[in-house]
Structure formats: structure tokens, C-alpha cells
Amino acid sequence: MFAENSAGAPLRGTDLVELLNCPPYGLTITTLQDAAGKTDFYFRINSLVPDFTAPTLAEEIVLKSFNLSGKLTWTRTVKNTPLGTIDATTSEGMLGFSDLSHLQTLSARVQVRNGKTGTPEMSQADGKVLLRPDLQVTGWQAPNSAKVRQVTKSELQTDQSSGSALQL
């Protein structure tokens, strides 16, 4: 750190920032529904604090949905879900449901074990059920060969079964 005192004299130093009472894990969710109404609930747990490793088991997952007046309309609790490790600090899991609706709001709470102390840690996230962009390639047209740096025209035909908007 470089600074000046009130007289304009230069100051130099270093400091360490230590996070206190910060939750060690963060949760993100994505919920995608296909054209047949099958919904996949994907969740990812990230270590937010250095030296914490990704959990390998979600001990409890509680999913809830409320209507506009705050009344509980849907709930599921799943225990002991194995998690796949993405890297040393990130793991993810997936659950499937057939009784969710497009744009339904979900509140998720996931409990995992603290990698250092062994105590339970709860993470929470909210999201909506979105349509899965289900694209199927139905045709492909391209030249058989091309020269280096030659501009060519290629065409890809797709069929979108869910009716959701395609964004490229």
C-alpha cells in the first residue's frame, strides 16, 4: 500500500485482510425444463474462503416454492445427494422433477459439511424454472474442402422442440 500522510510525506506498508464470520460456501442454482415437462435442478457449491475444499455430499437439500401471497405451494426435501467435483473448490449436483411449472420460483437451501471443522453449513439461493433451449441439428451443409483463410458459407438447420427463445 502506498499513501501520504497529512504533511505529504510518503508512506509504504502492507496489511492482511482476514474474513471473519464469512460463510465458507456459496450456492448457485439453475432449473431447466424440457418440452416434455421434465425439470432438471442443477446446483453448484463454491468455496468462498481460501483453503476450503469442495464438498462431496449434500446432506440435505430443501426446495420450496411460494405463491404471491406467501403460501407454500410446493416443497421437496432430498437427503444425502452425492456431488461431482469440478475442481478443488467447486462441486455440483443435479436432481430431476416432473411437477414444476415454467417460471415457478424456487428457494433452495443446501446443507454440506464444513471441510475444516466438520460442522454443518447451510447455503441458500433463489431462482426460476426456465425452459431448456432444446435444439436438435436436423441438417448441415458446408463445402467439402477450403483453403487456408478462405471464406466459406456453411448452413446449419435446427429444430427447437421446447418453443423457448434461441439466443446466440
HEC profile for the chain? CEEECCCCCEEECCCCCCCCCCCCEEEEEEEEECCCCCEEEEEEEEECCCCCCCCCEEEEEEEEEECCCCCEEEEEEEEEEECEEEECCEEEEEEEECCCCCCCEEEEEEEEECCCCCCEEEEEEEEEEEECCCEEEEEEECCCCCCCCCCCCCEEEEEECCCCCCCC
Give the model confidence (pLDDT) of 30-68 as tens digits: 999 988 899 999 999 999 988 889 999 999 999 999 998
For residue 42, the model assigns a pLDDT of 97
Provide block-wise average pLDDT over 10 residues at a time, the chain (168 residues): 78 73 91 92 93 93 94 97 95 96 95 91 95 78 87 82 49
- Catalogue all structural domains in the chain, each as residue range(s) with its CATH number: 25-131 (2.60.40.10)
